[in-house]
Each structure stands twice: as C-alpha cells, then as structure tokens.
Structure 1
Amino acid sequence: MPLIRNSYGKGHVRIMRVNRDSARHEVRELTVEVLLTGAFDPSYTVGDNSSVIATDSVKNIVNIVARDNVGAENEVFAGILARYFLDHYAHVSSVEITATETKWARIPIEGAPHDHAFVLDGNGKPFINLTATREDSVLTSGVLGFTFLKTTRSGWENFWVDEVTTLKPTADRIFSTAMDATWEWSAVPASYADANAAVIEAALKVFATTYSPGVQNTMYLMGEAVLAAVPEIAEISMACPNKHYLPIDLSPFGRAFDGQVFTPTDEPHGQIACTVGRG
C-alpha cells in the first residue's frame, strides 16, 4: 500500500534567548516544533533509517541556531532555522516551524521599566508558523487565547427565530472572548514586534469604541482595521468564542436584575470565525 505523506521532527523544544548586547536585556522564550518533509519514505516502508536526521539532532540545531541568533525577532529566527535545514540536508524538501512564545513584561520600578527584571505577561500566547522550501515560504504570526471584554455597547437581535429558538434578543449585553488570530505576511515589516503590536492595538480599538450588533460584525471590522494599520499583512483569520455572562435571577429575593450581577460561563459557547483579506 502506498505511503501517502509523512513528516517528522522534534516538538516542545523549549529555548530562552537572552540578548545581553547592552545593559537593557531582551528575553525571548519559545516552545518550538520542527517538522521535516523529504526523502524519508524508506524509514516508514522498509525500516531503513539511513536518511533520517535524528530528532535529538533537530533539537540540537534549534539550540545552536538560537545561540547564534540571540537578538533575532522570532519570525526572523524561524526563517534562519528553516534555512539551516534546507542548506545542510539536500534530501529535506520542506520545513515547517511552529513556535509559541511565553511573554515576559518588564517590571516597572518607580515608573520606569527595569532593564533585566521581568514578570510573566499572562494575556494570550503569541506564536509563529513558517513553512519553507528552497523556492518559497509562507510565514504567519498570531496569538492564542487573547482575552478581552466590554460590559456594554454590545447586543444580539434580529436573528433567525423558529420553533427551536429560546434565546431572547438583547441590545445590551457583556461581550467577552478569548481570541485565536493568525495573520499572514506578504512583506517584511520594519519590525515584526511593532507590527504585531499594531495588529492588537487596531483590533482592540474597534472592539472598545464601536457598538457590536454581533461577534461576526465586530470581527470583520477588526480585520479591516488590522489590514489598514499593517500593510505588510495579506490576510488575518480570527476565531472568537463567545464567552457568556448570564444574568442571575434574584427575583425570589426581591431584587430585580439591574445589569450588575452575572454568572460567568464558557461552556457551551458560541464559536465564530472569519478571514479578512485584501481581495
């Protein structure tokens, strides 16, 4: 029977890069997965491992490239890492690299960010994904579980109603989500870090300052704003679970609902996704 496709590599390679070129240190902590595709079929079909680069060697390469490029932005680091495999192993045809970042923020001391002391930044996990061959590459950046909320200027009305509908329309509800977003690069920005920050800033500005008739519309408007703010992005994909806050009925205790007390719940939740591109 034919072997349809295969890839292999090393996952959960954890690496912390500390750039000490000045008194102000930069830290970048990544969890890296490297998957290789190429002339590895015999290792699957007949147990011939002669072409297989050991996954332990893959881990060592991640560490070596990290040491040689401590100051590289994460997207740049992924490109250098992919190039190492393509340059050193002729039988590797493509490399896929996924790296999730553990974010650290500078500790403020008397109003100024400290040069070498950090606190864990808890909102969302930035990541990158690069698929590279010798002829081409596709690079995406993104964030997982980036959570935000607003307490008003959100509603859900005029939806389809039939015999199974029990949800009541509302023009005023809490809107909360933990967004997974991925944006694809069509050009190299002056700074990936600044461009990624501009993505979040543009999306949050729309979220905070516009009335939301539904998660769908708000996501689309956020995507439009991101593409306007960062011309190097070709398209952005977003998935936003609607994390519900349910009004608590306190009428048995002689208290009316006044929009101030809710039960947080995220199971089950609405799941909404879209991709906005330049056409």
Structure 2
Amino acid sequence: MPFVSAARYGKDNVRVYKVHRDEKTGIHTVTEMVVCCLLEGDIETSYTVADNSVVVATDSIKNTIYIKAKEHPVNPPELYASYLGQHLLDTYAHIHVANINISVKRWTRMVVDGKEHPHSFYRDGEETRTVEARVTREGIELKSGIAGLLVLKSTGSAFHGFVRDEFTTLPETWDRILSTEVDSTWSWNTLPSVAAVEEKVSQFDKAWEDARKITMKTFAEEDSPSVQATMYKMASQILDAAPETAKVTYALPNKHYFEIDLSWHKGIKNTGKDAEVYAPQTNPNGLIKVEVSRS
C-alpha cells in the first residue's frame, strides 16, 4: 500500500526588496532577496484524498513573506528567516516545519567624489549571501553561506603527484591559473527559539564577513598544492572564527583556463613559462567538495 513518506510545499522565487530610511541622517540601506518557503506537517491527505482543508495557499505564504518583511528587520537574513518560520508555526497548528531559503543580492553603496552616496548603489557582482532555516517546534536550525563568488589568480597554484594510470592524460603542473566559483556554508548550533536568535544576532553578520575575508585571503595568499588542501584550510579557519558553528562546507568547481599551443605559427612560444594567451573553458569541469566538522 503506497503512503506519503515525505512532503513539503510552498512558494518559491519570491523577490523582495526593502529600503530602510534613516530619518536622522537621510541615509538609505537597501536589501534585495529571493525567498523560498516550504511547509511540512499534517498535509498528506491533500495528496492522498484531495483534502484541501489542510493546505495553506501558496499565495498566502507569499503574502506572509511580504508582510513579515514589513513588520521585522530583514537583516541579518538569519533573523528574518526565523521570524517568518516561527510565525507560520504559530499560525497553523498542523504545520510542524517551515523551511526558509534566502538568497541576498549584492548591492554596494556608490562612492561619488570620495564620499559614500546616501541612496545610490551598484550591483557588485553576482555573489549572494545565503541562509537556510529549518524552523520546528523543537528549535531553529540555521545554515549561512556565500554563493557565486567568482575568484581567479594567475599563479600560485599547483597540481602534481596525483594518481596516474593507463587513462591519465593530464600533465602535472607546478604553476597554473586557479579559478573557481565559491559556494560555502556554515551550520550553526541549533537555537531553541526566535528569542535565542535575537540574542545571538550580532554573530551572523560577523561570521559572514569573516568567512568572506578568510576565503579570499587564503585563496590569494596560499601557494596552493591543490583545491582540496586550500578549501580545508579555509573551512578550518571559519570554524575558529565562528565558535558557535558546527561544520563548514565548500563546493569549488574548477574554472579551467587552458594554454594554447601556437608553435605551429612561426614557432610562437605560448606554453609553460611562456604562456600568456589562454582559452577559457566552460565544461566539463572538476568539482571538489568538502565538509569539515568540529572534532
């Protein structure tokens, strides 16, 4: 006999923009985010016997996202996600879990004639700040992160000593271009309530700023023996910087730049130490992942 072993539903890709206007200074702060909210609970009859009496309309979920953004701060996003999820549990007794995913776009304040402009911004790349919240009646699980941070360095990366067999064609290298798109998360120890999130609110922005600085500083300065070794070093430093986190993950895809052999044309040297012109690649690409937890 078939049964519903897991189910969730809700509203995805809800785009929200909020402007905070400081009346004393005239300075505006803007936040643009994309929200996904999926609910779990006693909803299986909506699937098995077409009982819509247990369904909170996804349009109502969308409206709730907007109203909670009006009523509460949206920064840090960990706090807003907690407010939103707790409201849904408080409102609907048959809903037991609210899963909130938030992606915050990067708007950076313009500097004009050496001064920060009070209300003008520019899109500073496609990098996003991410939050995943699982709000239950037992507590709030939060996972923060960075996604879409595209980085590149033109030297200071090597890859050699790897397994070689009859199918290996990749040459070893002691100097190469290293580029990747950073996707990193850090999971917080479970918090018992929204009030506990409010008490810890200052840690979320600091952890995000520290993680971003650690990622870029380590990437830039380390003479990298491999992506694996570099990402482990990054994750370890984030655990040190954010003591209330339990684990850190990285997913780093290779963005390959291949040397072009131009020796066929008048003996032009463009490989090894003479390489200056490269061909950026799209796919296939390597993908390296790691999860580093506290011992």
Task: Give the TM bin, normalised by the shorter chain.
Answer: over 0.9
Partner of 2:207: 195
Q: Deviations over 1:24-75 (max 9, x none)?
A: 2111111111101111111111111112111111111111100001454211
Partner of 1:255: 268
Partner of 1:139: 142
- Contact preservation (8 Å) 2:99, 2:134: yes
Q: Which has the higher strand share?
A: 1
2:231 to 197, 219, 227: 219
Aligned CA-pair RMSD: 1.4
Paired letter, 1:213: P
Partner of 2:71: 68
| Partner Cα separation in structure 1 for residue 113 and residue 286 of structure 2 | 43
Number of aligned residues: 279
Partner of 2:247: 235
TM-score by length of 2: 0.91
Partner of 2:158: 155
Cα shift at 1:234: 1.9
Paired letter, 1:10: K
Runs of 4+ in 1 over 4 A off after TM superposition: none
- Contact preservation (8 Å) 1:14, 1:30: yes
Is the counterpart of residue 18 in structure 1 residue 19 in structure 2? Answer: yes
Cα shift at 1:127: 1.2
Q: Specify every segment of 5 or more residues in structure 2 that has no aligned partner in the other structure, as ranges.
A: 192-199
Paired letter, 2:61: V
Paired letter, 2:230: T
1:204 to 216, 229, 233: 216
Q: Specify every segment of 5 or more residues in structure 1 that has no aligned partner in the other structure, as ranges.
A: none
Paired letter, 1:255: I
1:180 to 175, 180, 183: 183
48-57 or 223-232, which deviates more: 223-232
Cα shift at 1:191: 4.3
| Partner Cα separation in structure 2 for residue 189 and residue 232 of structure 1 | 12
- Contact preservation (8 Å) 1:126, 1:142: yes
Cα shift at 1:167: 0.8
Q: Deviations over 1:146-202 (max 9, x none)?
A: 110111111111111111111110100000001111111237352422320110101
Q: Deviations over 1:199-242 (max 9, x none)?
A: 01012111111111111101111111222222232211000011
Partner of 2:284: 268
- Contact preservation (8 Å) 2:269, 2:275: no
TM-score by length of 1: 0.96
Cα shift at 1:19: 1.1
Paired letter, 1:169: E
| Partner Cα separation in structure 2 for residue 112 and residue 224 of structure 1 | 37
Distance 1:6 1:154, change over 3 A: same
The percent identity for this pair of structures is: 40
Distance 1:97 1:71, change over 3 A: closer
- Contact preservation (8 Å) 1:97, 1:130: yes
50-59 or 229-238, which deviates more: 229-238
